[in-house]
Structure formats: C-alpha cells, structure tokens
Amino acid sequence: MQHFDDFDVVIVGAGFAGLYMLHRLRTLGLSVRVCEAGSGVGGTWFWNRYPGARCDVESMEYSYQFSEELQQQWEWTERYAAQPEILRYANHVAEKFELCRDIQFDTRVTAASFDEAAGRWRIKTGNGGEFTARYCVMATGCLSTANIPNLAGLDTFAGRWYHTGHWPHERVDFTGLRVGVIGTGSSAIQSIPIIAQQAEHLYVFQRTPNYAVPARNAPLDPREQQAIKADYAGLRRRAKTMRNGIQYPVNEALALEVTEQERRREYEARWERGGLSFLGSFADLLVDRQANDTAAEFVRAKIGEVVRDPGVAVALSPRNTFGCKRLCIDTGYYETFNRPNVTLIDVNRAPIDGVAREGLVAGGKTYAVDAIVFATGFDAMTGALRKIDIRGRAGTRLEEKWAEGPRTYLGVATAGFPNLFTITGPGSPSVLTNMLPSIEQHVEWIADCILHARERGRGCIEPTLAAEHEWVAHVNEVAGGTLFPSCNSWYVGANIPGKPRVFMPYIGGFPRYVEACNQIAADGYAGFALA
Ligand code: NAP
C-alpha cells in the first residue's frame, strides 16, 4: 500500500512541461505529485511579468496540441500573445484538466537523491516536506534561474531594483522615475520601449548589442484564426517538419549564390513580414560566415536608418555573428533611442563599477536612478538543476558529473541517475525550437518510456554510459559544423562567470531529433539499461 507521500512520479515544476507531464501520467493511471516553487502555474509566464513580456513565437503555434478540444476552444487575441494572456491560457489548461489538485504550490524542491536499496527517489522541499517516488521528472525550465550580477554596493542602493525574470505581481509604475536597465537581450528589448514611455529618464547599460527584427504584432483576425483551426492538424504537421518546429517559409537558396538585388528583396520581405522567419531567408546564414555577414549588414543598415544619432546607431549595431545569439523580436526598440529621455551607455567603454546609494556607477561616473532593472538573463539550461542537490547512484552529485558541461542521452536522461528525466534538458533541441511542441514530444516520450519499464516489471531505467558518450559527441559534432558556438551566448554558458563553455542545446533540428527518439523507442529503448 502506498504511503500518502509516496508517489509513482514526482514532477518538479508546473510550467507548460510540468502541467502536461502531470496530465499524461495521470491518464496512464500513475500517482503523481507536482512541486512548484511559485504560487501558481505557468512557469516562465508566471515569473516574467516585466513590461512588454510577450512570446516571440506566434500564438497559434505557441500552444498545446495534445487536445483537439483545447486547441479549438481557446481564442488568441494577438499574433504574438502577451504574458498575461499566456498565463491565462496556462490557468485555463490547469482548470480544464483539473490539474491543481495534484500540484503543491509554494514548494521549492531543494534536494533529490536516489535511494539504491529502495529503488526510489527521495525528494526534499524547502518547507521541510519529503516525498518518495519511483520516478522523478525535472520540468524545471531552460530559462528559470535568474542571473543577477554580483554588483558591489547593491545593498546600499536607495531605490528599488528588479530582475525581469522575477517581476513583482503588483504593477510597477516608472512614471516620473529615473531608471537604469542593465542588458540588451530579448527581455530588455521588449521592456525598454515601454519603460522609456513611463520614465523621466532611462539609462540603458549595454555590454553587447543584439540583432532585433520587428515583430509586426497585430490583433489576430478571427477569420484567420478560424481558417487555421479548420486545419490545425495540418499546421502542426507542417511545423514538425521544420528545423525549429515553427512553420514559416524557408528559402533553400544560398545567400551567396543569388544577386545582391535578390538578396535584398528577400531580406526586405522578411523584415516586412516580421518575426523569426527572418532566420529562414537563406539556407547558409548560420553555416557560412560570408553569408551571415550579408544578413548582419542588412540589419545594421536598418538600425542606421532608424536611429538618428550616428554614434548611437553604431553603438547599437552588433558586430557578432547574426543569429548565433537568440534573435530578438522587437516593437519600437531602435526608435526608442531617438527619445530625448533615453541614454545608451556602452559598458565596454564605461564598465559598471558597482551601485551607490543614489544610482549606478559606470566608468567612474554615477548615474542617479530611482530604479534598476536587471534584464541580465538566466543561468540557462542547467541553472535550475544545479540549484537542486541531485544525487544519483553512490551519492554522485549531478553538479559533479556535469562539472565540465552537461552530459545527457537525448537531453532526457543521464547515466548514473536512474528513473530521472529532464524535460527539454541540455542535449535536446529545446530552446532552439518552439518550446511547446518540444515539451509535448518529451512528455509523451518519457511517459512511454516509463510505461515500457513498468510493463516489463522493471524498477529502474537509465542510459548506458556508452549511449550517453555517443550522444554527447553527436551533439558537439553537429554544433561544431555551425557558426553557433562562435558567440558569447547563454547557449554556451558564456553569460555566467565560471560556467564551462559547452554548446548545450542540440542543433540537429527538431525532425532529425524526433526521428532519433522514435527509433530508440522502437528499438526497445536502445541505449537504456533496465534493471
Ligand atoms: P539574455 O539574452 O541573456 O540577455 C541578458 C543581457 O544582459 C545581455 O545583453 C547581457 O550582455 C547583459 N548582461 C548580463 N550580465 C551583465 C553584466 N554583468 N553587465 C552588463 N550586462 C550584462 O537574457 P534575456 O533577455 O532575459 O533573454 C534570455 C532568453 O529568454 C532569450 O534569449 C529568449 O530565448 C528568452 N526570451 C524570450 C522572449 C520572447 O519570447 N520574446 C522574451 C524574453 C526572453 P551580454 O550579451 O554581453 O552577455
């Protein structure tokens, strides 16, 4: 008989991954408990409430497809959904499938260790709770651990400071305030235009300029939505044939094999269309340096056309590889630097020295501000797992095993840690794709894998070291054939001091990855050992 705090599966996190994992496992008749640090569901969309927070994947695609009824019922209002709407959607899903009864909120998992004798995971929480479970699924998110730079004097700051990924639930109004934003990644690029409209003055502290393409967000025409829903399965099917799991036209031509005029026409059309489809302009953009330069040059020219002060335009113009950091999608970002109340500070010329009572100090000068916004990103892909004391066989700590970088089989499991699964973990396409279909694919695969072990009466399933080595080598080899590792991005952990430099996601593309996962399952979970 099961003890009340013993489950078949404990899931960590109630974002989109945890919610669907719970639903799927419950459907199979398993007992499940979800531990969630926040006081509500939604993960990323629960925490990232900063002004302008919006998804850069179109709403008709950034949604679950496991339930036809759900995808037919839900009505999106904009081409790109804003954070409050996505959070409403997450809550709607939780309600529709009665998920909250198995979720324990305000419960942060602090430790998980595998008890070899019992063949079970012991999971400890920050509020003194303890569970045991045959399986543990980490649905902890790829971008959930805030990176807050260790700035001297922050504790002496007289104003308020925020991190975009941990935004307060109450409305933050910057009207009449002097604000400093640190960072110019996606979160900054979305929030800066809105903060600038409110603030008396906004200082933007930039370390590396980023490429941003217009979103061209607009209300979603109900007729267009209806047309998509009439063949939703078709859209989903087509999207799954795309490298990043998002449906947009991909030009198979090579940038260097067309005339300059044709190239320009293609870039202009994509610029007008808006969004991530710009990445589909030419097939060689991310593999050929010269091809890449043509896209980079096009965006730099656009920045020059928009930003009136030539010095500011140059400072805002990236020089690194186009697209090897996550492409940003903006609404009025570059235009914001034409406002008289916005000042760009290049921290390469004037490094941030620290924080004083009255503001930010950079290059020896104090910028008096009433509020600081850290738009400084996340300890991506491994940060949330590193925060939990995870111990596998013989008490081995995951952090130790991953000291030189994450090592997984398919990004779903790691040798020496039986019955532990990671949804969209390092070594899977995850952040390089539309997260929702990637999450669904992992959830379904993991559920099938658990079922496979149970049906055979086996208590433990884990990857072999040989299979893991082979997968890690493949992940590295594929990344090495692209321009991706050339930037100091969070994909390689470069934003976190001391983090090993390893390209973490799998760049082989969603279709190839899914095929590999399916083949492994069809071969009786090849590369996994059952005990
Ligand atoms: P990010 O892309 O990592 O950007 C962080 C920014 O902070 C960078 O400009 C970084 O500069 C700067 N920074 C970090 N530490 C700093 C320091 N000590 N001093 C000065 N500058 C510092 O983080 P993010 O903007 O939160 O975005 C993370 C990811 O979340 C995105 O790439 C995207 O995948 C996702 N996201 C998506 C959306 C969307 O759907 N639209 C919105 C927001 C976020 P360096 O570049 O020099 O490191």
Query: Ligand 1: which of 186, 191, 325 to mutate, most ligand atoms within 8 Å of CB?
Result: 186
| Interval 106-156: pLDDT, tens | 999 999 999 999 999 999 999 999 999 999 999 999 999 999 999 999 999
Per-residue pLDDT band at 480 (split at 50, 70, 90): very high
The residue whose CB lies within 8 Å of the most ligand 1 atoms, and thus the one to mutate among 143, 191, 330, 376, is 376
For ligand 1, the distance from its centroid to the CA atom of residue 474, given in whole angstroms, is: 28
Query: Is the CB of residue 352 below 6 angstroms from any atom belonging to ligand 1?
Result: yes
Distance separating alpha carbons of residues 247 and 333, to the nearest angstrom: 25
Nearest to 442 by CA among 36, 120, 25: 25
CA angle centred on 140, ends 525 and 400, rounded to 5° = 75
Q: Whose CA is nearest to atom 37 of ligand 1?
A: 186
Is ligand 1 within 6 A of the CB of residue 329? Answer: yes
Residue 127 Cα, ligand 1 centroid: separation in angstroms?
A: 31
Beta-bridged to residue 360, according to DSSP, are: 355, 367
Pocket lining: 187 vs ligand 1, CB cutoff 6 Å: yes
Q: Which pLDDT tens digit goes with each residue over 300-342?
A: 999 999 999 999 999 999 999 999 999 999 999 999 999 999 9
Beta bridge partners of 32: 9
Q: What is the pLDDT of residues 484-525, one digit of tens each?
A: 988 999 999 999 999 999 999 999 999 999 999 999 999 999
Distance 155 CA to ligand 1 centre (A): 23
Q: What is the mean pLDDT of residues 180-198?
A: 98
Q: What angle do CA 23, 92, 123 make, to 5 degrees?
A: 40
465 CA → ligand 1 middle, Å: 34
Given a contact cutoff of 8 angstroms between Cβ atoms, the answer to whether 47 and 167 are in contact is: yes
pLDDT at residue 61, rounded to an integer: 98
The predicted-structure confidence for 167-188, as pLDDT tens digits, reads as follows 999 999 999 999 999 999 999 9
Cβ of residue 362 lying under 6 Å from some atom of ligand 1: no
Residue closest via CA to ligand 1's atom 46 equals: 208
56 CB near ligand 1 (under 6 Å): yes
What span, in angstroms and rounded, lies between the C-alpha atoms of 189 and 236? 29
Residue 375 in contact with ligand 1 by CB distance below 6 A: yes
C-alpha–C-alpha distance, residues 426 and 431, integer Å: 9
> Ligand 1 centroid vs 326 CA: distance in angstroms?
9
Predicted TM-score of the model (pTM) = 0.97
409-418: pLDDT as tens digits: 999 999 999 9
Instruction: Give me the helices (H) in 307-389, please.
Output: 310-316, 333-336, 383-386
pLDDT value of position 202: 98
* pLDDT reported for residue 2: 44
Residues 6+ apart with CB under 8 A from 459: 119, 134, 453, 531
What is the C-alpha to C-alpha distance for residues 49 and 28, in angstroms, rounded to an integer?
Answer: 34
Res. 4 pLDDT band, cuts 50 70 90: low
15-67 tens-digit pLDDT:
999 999 999 999 999 999 999 999 999 999 999 999 999 999 999 999 999 99
The answer to whether 376 and 205 are in contact (CB under 8 A) is no
Query: Pairing state of beta strands 109-115 and 389-391?
Result: parallel
Neighbours of 384 (CB within 10 A): 23
Provide the Cα torsion 471, 473, 478, 480; round to 10°: 160
Contact 300, 334 (CB under 8 A): no
Q: Is the CB of 143 under 6 A from ligand 1?
A: yes
- Own/partner contacts of 297-302, CB < 8 Å, gap of 24 or more, are 298/264, 298/267, 298/271, 299/211, 299/212, 299/213, 302/271, 302/334
CA distance 210 to 189: 9
Pocket test for ligand 1, best of 279, 495, 499 (most atoms within 8 A of CB): 495
Q: What is the pLDDT of residues 212-224, one digit of tens each?
A: 999 999 999 999 9
